Structure 1
Amino acid sequence: MPPYYLSLFKAPKKIIKTLQGIRRDFVWGKTGSRNKIRWVAWEKVVAPKRLGGLGLGEIRSLNWALLMKRRWRAIHQNAHLWVEVIMAIHWGDSVDGGVPLKRVSLAFGRI
């Protein structure tokens, strides 16, 4: 579900921080209250492979990339129904608004 919402809405910092925490705990193998040894710095984990990292990437960058991909598709596929729905919700009659500002309430908080 997060990639879908990240492709439609600009996520607030609190949601990004929460998602990063969940992902960090998974990668580092946190179980309950036990922490395992962290052999690699988190900056190295999210760094691109060409720079010697593991290539996991930042969630904020993923959010912007998905938003811009959706915007590009909306501009070039403007005859599709999904474009009309998204434009009506977020931008009115034009796509010139950039990043959508409407927010949606989810089970883990308001984004």
Structure 2
Amino acid sequence: MSVFSMSVSIAQKIERLKRDFFWGDGFQKKKIHSIKWEVLYKSKKEGGLGIGSVQCMNEGLLAKWVWRFGVENCPLWKRVICAKYGIQRDKLR
């Protein structure tokens, strides 16, 4: 999830699994919705459970890789990517 962009349909399926975990036990019966889903998404400081959106988490993890690519000097993974795509590391600075 941190390396590849997640499609919207996969994110929706994961969100459905999360909702079923909190609000129902699958095929037999549904639990009572005692709290809004938006409240579950809120951070703990704001009164929620801090679950967060799968799509937002995926985008944040991808952004962190872009940040690490610009900040870190010569890790192996960066050298592999530069060699694969023909990026000259000297011109990145």
TM-score by length of 1: 0.65
Distance in 2 (alpha carbons) for counterparts of 1:87 and 1:60? 27
Question: Which amino acid in structure 2 is aligned with residue 22 of structure 1?
Answer: L
Contact 1:78 1:84 in 2 (8 A): no
2:39 paired residue among 38, 41, 44: 44
Distance 1:33 1:93, change over 3 A: farther
Aligned-CA RMSD value: 2.0
Q: 1:7: which partner in 2?
A: 2
Q: 2:52: which partner in 1?
A: 57
Q: 2:15: which partner in 1?
A: 20
Structure 2 gaps, min length 5: 88-93
Distance in 2 (alpha carbons) for counterparts of 1:52 and 1:28? 19
Question: Which amino acid in structure 2 is aligned with residue 74 of structure 1?
Answer: F
Question: Which amino acid in structure 2 is aligned with residue 93 of structure 1?
Answer: G
TM-superposed CA distance for 1:50, in Å, is: 2.7
* 1:50-89 equivalences in 2 (<5 Å): 50-87=45-82
Aligned length: 87
Q: 2:86: which partner in 1?
A: 93
TM-superposed CA distance for 1:21, in Å, is: 0.7
Question: Which amino acid in structure 2 is aligned with residue 34 of structure 1?
Answer: K
The higher radius of gyration belongs to 2
Q: 2:90: which partner in 1?
A: none
TM-superposed CA distance for 1:23, in Å, is: 1.3
TM-score by length of 2: 0.76
